[in-house]
Homo-oligomer: A and B are copies of this chain.
Amino acid sequence: MAHTLGHSQYGKAETRVVRVYRDRDPHELVDLNVSVALSGDFADSHLTGDNARVLTTDAVKNTVFAYAQEHAEAARSPESFGLVLARHFVDDVPQVTRARVRIEQHPWRRLAAGGEPAPHAFVRDGQLVRTSTVTCEAGRAHVVTGLRDLVVLKTTDSEFAGFYEDRYTTLQPTTDRVMATSVDAQWWHTGGAVEWGTAFEAARQALCEAFAASYSRALQQTLFEMGSAVLDAVPGVGEVRLSLPNRHHFAVDLSPFGLDNPNEVFFAADRPYGLIEGTVRREGAPEPGPAFDPGQGWSA
């Protein structure tokens, strides 16, 4: 019966806030999904149901909406919006010792009408989701930027050979295959004075270019090159974590039908898939501490 409370946290998850900037023409638009997790002195609520120190998750939601209005410029980037929110909870709510704010940003592009950019109409750009994790504790803020659902594919320049063989190995080596993955990447900013939008765009482009330009002898090798490219492109980044599913494309055997298949017709399989995860660090960078949310996809 003598059980004890270990680590705990709570908050409001997935508050969907769309911020429209109407004080300029054309309008602008930011579309965010905000999740807040608070840690601190909340044991009473668990142990006795005394909620005297519990900031309601409803108030957390209200704060997200109110801050989108009051901190209009901060809300333009998930990193800066996460920073004002996380600092608020730690600074203004005494019993909160750590706040972690995870934000997904869904990109939109401006539509055109009559050959001109439309001032008030947008289309969702589904190429990727931009992510941010801001953690505030003990007077320090940690910022991680990332993206997911960036799906890329190479039709050649990929081989996989010379691998270890055991009793259960039946795969044939190949010097030419399709390689495809859905990039889930997160990178930690060691410093704070960052132009978030510019830095994100540089990292996104670095990931794409490294994937496109590299000759791949293994998805592991490509992962390292992609992480290195982010470090090269964004100076303040100390560490990059990548989780890359190997979305298998199997060349279909068409010989029963009297047909050749010189790597032209592929079956895109769902499951199982390879899953390659790795960390690329800048030499001499400090340790990231609590910057990365361990529950967020990448599993150490």
Docked Cα-Cα span, A205 to B7, in Å, equals 24
A201 within 8 A of B: no
Docked Cα-Cα span, A11 to B263, in Å, equals 25
- Min Cβ gap A167→B in Å is 7
Q: Please state if B218 and A45 are interface contacts (CB–CB under 8 Å).
A: yes
Q: Please state if B12 and A122 are interface contacts (CB–CB under 8 Å).
A: no
- Min Cβ gap A287→B in Å is 10
Q: Please state if A153 and B65 are interface contacts (CB–CB under 8 Å).
A: no
Q: Please state if B11 and A58 are interface contacts (CB–CB under 8 Å).
A: no
Residues of chain B contacted by A198 (CB below 8 angstroms):
none
Residues of chain B contacted by A265 (CB below 8 angstroms):
17-20, 65, 68-69
Q: Please state if B162 and A50 are interface contacts (CB–CB under 8 Å).
A: yes
Docked Cα-Cα span, A245 to B29, in Å, equals 20
A178 within 8 A of B: yes
Q: Give how many A residues have a beta carbon under 8 Å from the other chain's beta carbons.
A: 151
Q: Could you name 6 residue pairs across A and B whose Cβ atoms are closer than 8 Å?
A: A12-B272, A12-B273, A51-B218, A59-B170, A66-B259, A112-B209
Q: Please state if A254 and B218 are interface contacts (CB–CB under 8 Å).
A: no
A262 within 8 A of B: yes
- Min Cβ gap A88→B in Å is 9
- The A interface is mostly helix, strand or loop, or mixed, namely mixed
Q: Please state if A169 and B4 are interface contacts (CB–CB under 8 Å).
A: no
Residues of chain B contacted by A70 (CB below 8 angstroms):
259
Q: Which residue of B lies closest to A290 (CB)?
A: B300
Chain copies in the assembled complex = 4
- Min Cβ gap A100→B in Å is 8
Interface residue stretch chosen among A138-146, A189-197, A274-282: A274-282
Q: A10-B276, A45-B220, A114-B213 are in contact. Are A266 and B18 (CB under 8 A)?
A: yes
Q: A59-B169, A277-B8 are in contact. Are A270 and B268 (CB under 8 A)?
A: no
Residues of chain B contacted by A209 (CB below 8 angstroms):
111-114
Partner of A3, one of B124, B163, B283: B283
A155 within 8 A of B: yes
The residues in A between 44 and 58 inclusive whose CB is less than 8 angstroms from any CB of B are: 45-58
Q: A163-B54, A299-B293 are in contact. Are A69 and B261 (CB under 8 A)?
A: yes
Q: Please state if A274 and B57 are interface contacts (CB–CB under 8 Å).
A: yes
- Min Cβ gap A221→B in Å is 4
Q: Please state if B8 and A220 are interface contacts (CB–CB under 8 Å).
A: yes
Q: Please state if B58 and A118 are interface contacts (CB–CB under 8 Å).
A: no
Q: Which residue of B lies closest to A63 (CB)?
A: B168
9 closest A-B pairs by CB? A295-B299, A126-B126, A49-B217, A6-B279, A294-B294, A121-B212, A8-B278, A124-B151, A57-B274
